[in-house]
Structure formats: structure tokens, C-alpha cells
């Protein structure tokens, strides 16, 4: 939130941002040398640096970032292939400027496809039906299929 992103005209409220991700309490944080456990943090850094490196922005209040096309797993121990960034809150800087806070959550390709076909509300309803946690859960059910 120190360096503004390059946003399109009229999107100034999204120029600054903070990111956060929730890991479960039993995540082996002491094993960050192991790719099975460091991929969430590597991706968080990659997402945070992307707008600066590519002279762009995170895209407003809701964004999905796929790991390639077709999407590949985000890490060696998960089938999830995309990240959902959802501006779930904001904070106010000392200069009075509001800064959106993006919750970063891994999702499956089918969930990305559901959002693409039917929109954000349909994806959120599917998450609610399947009790999808907004923490990193490498074994959670896929909410993008029928049901």
C-alpha cells in the first residue's frame, strides 16, 4: 500500500492494496524449505509483486488469477489451480486514504469456470453450499461441480 498501482482512469480507489492469506493453524510453517508447504507464501509474494513488475493493477474488488492456461496446480500437494482475490475489507492510512485488503484464497479450475460463466454471486453461493473455508485447505471439496 506504499506504492500505487497503475489503474485505469476512474479506478483510483484500487490504486493501493494489501493482501492476506490464512493458513490453518497446523500448517508446517517450520518447513518452508519444502515446496509442499511454501507454495502459498511464494504465490503471495508473486501476486504482490505482479502489478509493479507488469505496470498494472489487481483489477478491482474481485479477481481470479489462473496458474497458466490451462491452469496447473498451485503446489505439489494440491489440485487447486487459481487464486481468488476478494477485497473483503479496507484499512485507513494515516493520510486518510482507504486501502482495500484482498483476501487471497486458492480455488479449483471448475470454480473459476463457474465464476466466468455465472458470475461472482454464483461462485459465492456454491462456496456457501459447500461450506468452503477461506483458509488454505489443500483437501477441501471442489464447489465448482454440480450440487
When pLDDT is averaged across residues 88-98 and rounded to a whole number, the result is 92
Return the closest-CA partner of residue 64 out of 129, 18, 108, 23. 108
Question: Mapping DSSP to helix (H, G, I), strand (E, B) and coil, where does residue 15 land?
Answer: coil
Return the closest-CA partner of residue 21 out of 119, 135, 107, 124. 135
Provide the pLDDT for residue 83. 97
Q: What is the pLDDT of residues 7-63, one digit of tens each?
A: 999 999 999 999 999 999 999 999 989 999 999 999 999 999 999 999 999 999 999
pTM for the predicted model, two decimal places: 0.92
When pLDDT is averaged across residues 120-140 and rounded to a whole number, the result is 94
Amino acid at each position: 500500500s506504499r506504492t500505487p498501482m497503475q489503474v485505469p482512469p476512474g479506478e483510483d480507489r484500487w490504486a493501493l492494496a494489501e493482501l492476506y492469506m490464512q493458513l490453518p493453524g497446523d500448517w508446517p510453517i517450520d518447513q518452508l524449505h519444502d515446496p509442499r508447504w511454501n507454495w502459498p507464501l511464494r504465490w503471495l509474494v508473486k501476486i504482490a509483486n505482479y502489478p509493479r513488475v507488469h505496470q498494472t493493477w489487481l483489477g478491482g474488488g474481485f479477481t481470479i488469477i489462473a496458474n497458466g492456461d490451462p491452469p496447473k496446480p498451485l503446489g505439489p500437494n494440491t489440485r487447486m489451480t487459481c487464486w481468488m482475490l476478494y477485497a473483503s475489507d479496507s484499512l485507513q492510512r494515516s493520510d486518510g486514504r482507504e486501502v482495500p485488503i484482498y483476501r487471497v484464497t486458492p480455488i479449483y479450475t471448475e470454480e473459476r469456470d463457474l465464476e466466468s460463466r455465472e458470475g461472482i454471486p454464483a461462485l459465492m453461493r456454491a462456496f456457501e453450499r459447500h461450506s468452503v473455508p477461506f483458509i488454505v485447505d489443500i483437501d477441501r471439496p471442489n464447489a465448482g461441480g454440480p450440487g
